[in-house]
Chain A
Amino acid sequence: MPQFLKMFRGSTTAGTPPLAPSQERVPRRSTGFQEFTKVIQAREGLNVLDLGPTSPTNIHYLTSLGHKIYNVDVLLSSMDPALLRPGEDGAAAVDVERFFAENLVFRGEQFDAVLLWSVADYLPELLVKPLVERIHSVMQPGGMLLGFFHTKDAGPQAPYCRYHIAGADTLELQQVPRFRLQRVFNNRHIENLFHNFKSLKFFLARDHTREVLVVR
């Protein structure tokens, strides 16, 4: 990922457990999720990959639609101290090869839908591009991904949130104070990031967030 993408450099450090999330959940309407829901409600038996923190409500919602759900908290996994090695500048960095050897390995499973949420904005830079490539490799052609990306106006303190599905077009956001924004992507950056995919559709939300639907 080019350095110029890095607008804000956070201080996400590995080795310490995440702080407890806020108990407050703020409802938020989501056009992107509404579109996503139309797709996953259209048929049963889809394989859905949720890359956010474990959410009982998401698991309940998706399994009640008759889907099989895979949950991998990518951001938390990236903080595993066992994955750190000395970087070029002497600072600890994630061992990318080892990370992908231990995470997102699905033994031939292919996904029809992927919930990326806002993980890409908070993930260590070394992992972003390989993550998207791995997602591409495990998605069905025609499969759909939903991602949220902060705009520049969100500011460097934009909190990381867990996304809980509260309805067909509504999400509940729960702040997790442990993670800090690492960068922001503009539309061009997002298109470059997903250049292997078939198409992208953007929805600009009021809370300085772009909701992006990506079709494999």
Chain B
Amino acid sequence: MWKARPDEKSSGSAAPAPSTTNNTMSTMPATTVASAGTAAPPAAAARTAYVPQRPAENFRAEVAHIGKSVLIKGELSGSEDLYLDGEVEGSVDLKQHSLTVGPHGRIRANIRAREVIVHGKVDGNIAGDEKVELKKSAVLTGDITTQRIMIEDGAFFKGAIDLLKDGKSQSGDHRRELSFSATAGSNS
């Protein structure tokens, strides 16, 4: 929904863009946008159904972008990749697309996306169908459910990590009978 603004292309705090491009039409129902100091991004617009792969330097222009001055309260959903450097309170659902939380991003919401990359701060659970990455500047308080996870040294994480194997939780619901050897007494 949010198209890239030309003046944000050269932002010094830019984080790496998501790794895929698959722009289709986007939707953002039930979303309230409050912009502090700058005009709100343009309203939703239909795009052509297929955009070919672009070189990395041109990629960000093809990713929906929410700038650092934007505050969103409500449900944020869409069907294209999103770079989010503003604040969100509510929920984020990108289904089969990727979400990058920029270094200024402040998210108080549960996130669902195919791939989630966090540079900023997230307070909420992340469900990344394929992959979740926490970069070194990331601060996450919440649980992660995904198939692959990458965490850089320096990232702060408080919560649970449940890696999915074939789409299923490894921990499962079955509880195991524990029979750890209990050696009483002291060896020292």
Contact = CB atoms under 8 A, between A and B. Distances in A.
Contacts of A152: none
A167 interface: no
B182 A198 contact: yes
25 contacts: A44-B170, A45-B172, A47-B171, A56-B150, A56-B153, A56-B155, A59-B151, A59-B161, A60-B151, A66-B170, A67-B170, A71-B159, A110-B175, A141-B178, A142-B177, A142-B182, A199-B182, A200-B184, A200-B185, A201-B183, A201-B185, A201-B186, A202-B187, A202-B188, A215-B180
A45 B160 contact: no
Contacts of B175: 110, 140
Contacts of B186: 187, 200-202
Nearest to A23: B153
Nearest to B156: A54
Interface string A185-216: 00100000000001111111000001001010
Given A142-B178, A201-B187, A202-B187, A73 B156 contact: yes
B53 interface: no
A73 B178 contact: no
A21 B25 CA distance: 46
A124 interface: no
B170 A112 contact: no
A8 B188 CA distance: 22
Interface residues of B, number: 34
B8 interface: no
B182 A68 contact: no
A199 B179 CA distance: 13
Interface in A134-158: 140-144
Contacts of B160: 68-71, 109
B163 interface: yes
Given A47-B171, A68-B162, A112-B176, A63 B149 contact: yes
Nearest to A42: B180
Interface string B62-99: 00000000000000000000000000000000000000
Interface of B: 149-153, 155-163, 165, 169-172, 174-188
A71 B157 contact: yes
Contacts of B179: 142
Interface string A35-51: 00001000111110000
B143 to A, nearest CB: 9
Contacts of A187: 186, 188
A11 interface: no
Contact of A112 (B149, B152, B162, B178): B178
A131 B182 CA distance: 22
A54 B181 CA distance: 29
Contacts of B176: 43, 45-46, 112
A110 B174 CA distance: 12
A173 interface: no
